[in-house]
Structure formats: structure tokens, C-alpha cells
Amino acid sequence: MSQYLLLLYSDPTGWSKLSPEQQRTGEAQYMSWGKKPFVVRGVRLALDDGKVMRAEGGELRTTDGPFTETKELLAGYYLIEAASYDEALQRSADHPHLQHGGIIEVRQTYGS
């Protein structure tokens, strides 16, 4: 069985627009989804902190981040098991992140 990384992107301002009750419901949905038998691991990332490193002209440059050219930021990830890309997509289709306006990028992993 192969492993696939689900990269969850979202607009960090979207969650703050939800009522406290909607936020609790959403968090419960994420927690429930993360307990599916094919999920190896899931991690939520801080959206308001981070660093970006780049090598430019032979010099290492570090800036505050995470900042991208789009409004979506990497918000977290799940590592799942699936027999193929098709199965990974099928298993991810009911992820609550999609219901909350997020984007999921699915990538196969290699190695251990």
C-alpha cells in the first residue's frame, strides 16, 4: 500500500468568519476524519508563524513567513494509505476541509 500526502491549503481569514459553534463543529469534523483507518497521521500548522528560507546568489536568506503569492496558505497535512492515486482521491473526497472552502493537494510519497 502506497502513502499519499494530503496538503491542506486555506485562506487563514476564513475560519475567523465562522461563529464559535461553527468552529467547534468544524474542528470535530476534522478530528473525526483523522480517525479513519487509512489515516497514518494528521498535523495542523500554525498559520500566523513560520520562516521561509531561500538561497540567493550563494547566500542564505531567511524571511518571516509563511507568505505566498496567493491568499491560501499551507494549513496542515495528512498522511494516508491508498493503493493508487484514484483511491487516495476517493478517500479524500469527503474531507471536511473541502466543505470549509479549502484546497487539498494530493501527492504520493516515496521512501520510508
DSSP three-state, residue 98:
helix
- Per-residue pLDDT tens digits for 91-106: 999 999 998 888 999 9
Q: Rounded to whole angstroms, how far apart are CA atoms 11 and 75? A: 9
pTM to 2 decimal places: 0.83
CATH of 2-108, picked from 3.30.70.1060, 3.90.550.10, 1.10.240.10, 3.40.640.10, is: 3.30.70.1060
Q: Rounded to whole angstroms, how far apart are CA atoms 100 and 24? A: 13
Residue owning grid cell 487516495: 88
- Per-residue pLDDT tens digits for 30-88: 999 999 999 999 998 887 677 778 888 888 888 776 665 557 788 899 999 999 999 99
Is residue 112's pLDDT more than 60?
no
Q: Which is nearest to 92 in space by CA: 15, 20, 4?
A: 4
Q: Count of alpha carbons within 13 Å of 24, Cβ hemisphere only?
A: 3
